[in-house]
Amino acid sequence: MLDVGRHPNIELRAYTEVEKVAGESGNFTVTLRKKARYVDEAKCTGCGACVEKCPTLVPDAFNEGLGNRKAIYSWFAQGIPSTHTIDVEACRVFSGKKCGICQKTCQADAVDFEQQDQLLELDIGAIVVATGYDVFDPGRIPEYRYNDLDNVVTAIEFERLLSASGPTGGHLDRPSDRAISAEIEDLKKQLKKASRLLANQEKKFEEKSPDFYAKYSAGAYPDDTERDKWAEQYEAQLKLQDKIEVLESKAAGFSTAKKLAFIQCVGSRDHRFYPFCSGYCCMHSIKEAIIAHEHDPETQTTIYGMDIRAVGKGFEEYKVRGGNNSNIEYKRSRIAEILEDKEHNPILVYEDTKTGHIKRDHFDLVVLATACAPNTNNRQLADILGIEISRFGFFKTSTANPIDSSRPGIFICGCSHSPIDIPESVAQASSAAARAVQSLRTADKAGKAVNM
């Protein structure tokens, strides 16, 4: 990405959407909407001082909601351009409240709350569509209880947990344990506030709360409204302390997830949702299991699926190496449901399709290998580009020329074409670039525009 950003013949227009496409191959007129960041890209140095001072926290979509970010943020590290964006829905200024801390903090004077969207019109010779994919929502499969059980996560959530730049710094902390840790922090804030209120009462009556409460409990202050309130505050503090002690005792026994389960074909190869195979899920699960074992050699993983589809060069060997060296077990099975014990450990109820027996296995964490779903914006973009999409929502291409869309001069690659893995996406991208160049040469001979 950094090399692309430096290339003299490549212009990146980030945070920009296509609004209209007119013309024909070799002579397209494309209207773009460059959305307002409310940060001047030319001035912003990416130092992050504004992010550090921003008081507003919101769930971080890049980390799948497993962590938080500020209302002014960069989508991910080393993004191009190296700048920040203000989340209008979260920012206090745009909700009519007094703030503007980011603007006061920015020494480069890059924050501009008056910035507006810009409409740009470009003359383009060829278009390559590479819109990527969406992750299937496993909440649509009730037996997996994704929305109910903390320790059932998607493959992309698991990947963010494994990442050193993720919300846990690469440690496989279970979501249920993280929730308890967050609750402890919240209770400590409440306790700190309660302690300040008690300190005011102690100063007013010149007596420590425990000494006062002993007298109060013995009936020393009948019909004293102010001391009744003091007693209520002290009792509330005691309850908070007790709850914190219980949770901290529980948290002392927390450890990283060591017994993992991956469930394959969640939403794919399923006539209720997507009947096709998503292509990369099997190898992605194996890769993640191997990385988890590299993080902690005690990690044991079981991969449940109808079969393992390792179809690429060296993929079968990789699968076998995972089983031999990374404590990975492959079970041919169908998952009936996921339950949970009192320690929030997921319990898989499944049919072992080799023996025909119903079995139960306990795990620390369950990972759902979710289907590769078409980008939800594909239909809208197809209308703008004037091209066709398949019944599944991917862009339709020619059988004879599998990179060509239904409109000359527009080409398709990656998961906008179909569910494919990274190596094949790269190969398709090269093919799409070659087809675009061919169309430009044809247009050049005809005296048309030759931009991309």
What's the whole-model pTM score? 0.90
**Mean pLDDT within 202-215:** 92
C-alpha of 422 from chain center:
19
Distance CA(209)–CA(204), nearest Å, equals 11
pLDDT band at 181 (very low <50, low <70, confident <90, very high): very high
Tell me: pLDDT of 442 over 90: no
The residue that leads in pLDDT, 372 or 443, is 372
325: DSSP letter = H
Q: Looking at residues 423-449, what average pLDDT do you find? A: 83
Q: What is the dihedral of CA 315, 320, 323, 329, to 10 degrees?
A: 80
Six token digits for residue 406:
């239904």
Does residue 140 have a pLDDT over 80? yes
Write out the two tokens for 259: 């017994």
- Alpha carbons 11 and 80: distance in angstroms, whole number: 11
For the segment 382-391, what is each residue's pLDDT rounded down to a tens digit?
Answer: 999 999 999 9
Mean pLDDT, residues 317-325: 96
Residue 33 · residue 20 · CB < 8 Å: no
136 band by pLDDT with thresholds 50, 70 and 90:
very high
pLDDT at res. 209: 94
Please classify residue 23 by burial: count the beta carbons closer than 10 Å to its beta carbon, then call 0-12 exposed, 13-18 middle and 19+ buried. middle
With respect to CATH, is domain 135-173+256-373 assigned 3.50.50.60? Answer: yes
pLDDT of residue 24 exceeding 80 = yes
Beta-carbon contacts of 138 under 8 Å, excluding residues fewer than 6 positions away, are 144, 146, 154, 266, 267, 368, 370
Whole-number Å distance between alpha carbons of 437 and 398: 18
pLDDT digits over 349-372, tens only? Answer: 999 999 999 999 999 999 999 999
Give 97's contacts (C-beta < 8 A, 6+ positions apart).
none
322 bridge partner residues:
none
DSSP state of 393: S
Residue with tokens 């690469």: 170
- 410 close to 270: Cβ distance less than 8 angstroms: no
Q: Which helix (H) or strand (E) holds 157?
A: helix 155-162
Instruction: Give the chain's end-to-end CA distance (angstroms, integer).
Output: 18
Report the pLDDT value the prediction gives residue 79, as an integer from 0 to 100: 82
Residue 69: pLDDT band with limits 50, 70, 90: very high
Mean pLDDT of all residues in 422-436: 94
Q: Stretch 127-148: mean pLDDT, rounded?
A: 96
Instruction: Give the dihedral of Cα atoms 339, 341, 343, 348; nearest 10 deg.
Output: -40
Task: Please give the Cα distance from 384 to 284 (Å, whole number).
Answer: 33
Confidence at 81, pLDDT banded by 50, 70, 90: confident
Residues 262-275 have a mean pLDDT of 95
Question: Cis peptide before 81, with omega less than 30 degrees from 0?
Answer: yes
Residue 305: strand, helix, or coil:
strand
Euclidean distance between CA atoms 122 and 126, whole angstroms? 12
Q: Where along the chain do its domains lie?
A: 36-116, 135-173+256-373, 176-251, 375-451
Please give the radius of gyration of the chain, using alpha carbons only, rounded to the nearest integer: 28
pLDDT of the residue at 448: 52
Across the range 129-136, mean pLDDT stands at: 95
Give the least confident one: 2-16, 27-41, 81-95, 141-155.
Answer: 2-16
> What was the pLDDT predicted at 76?
86
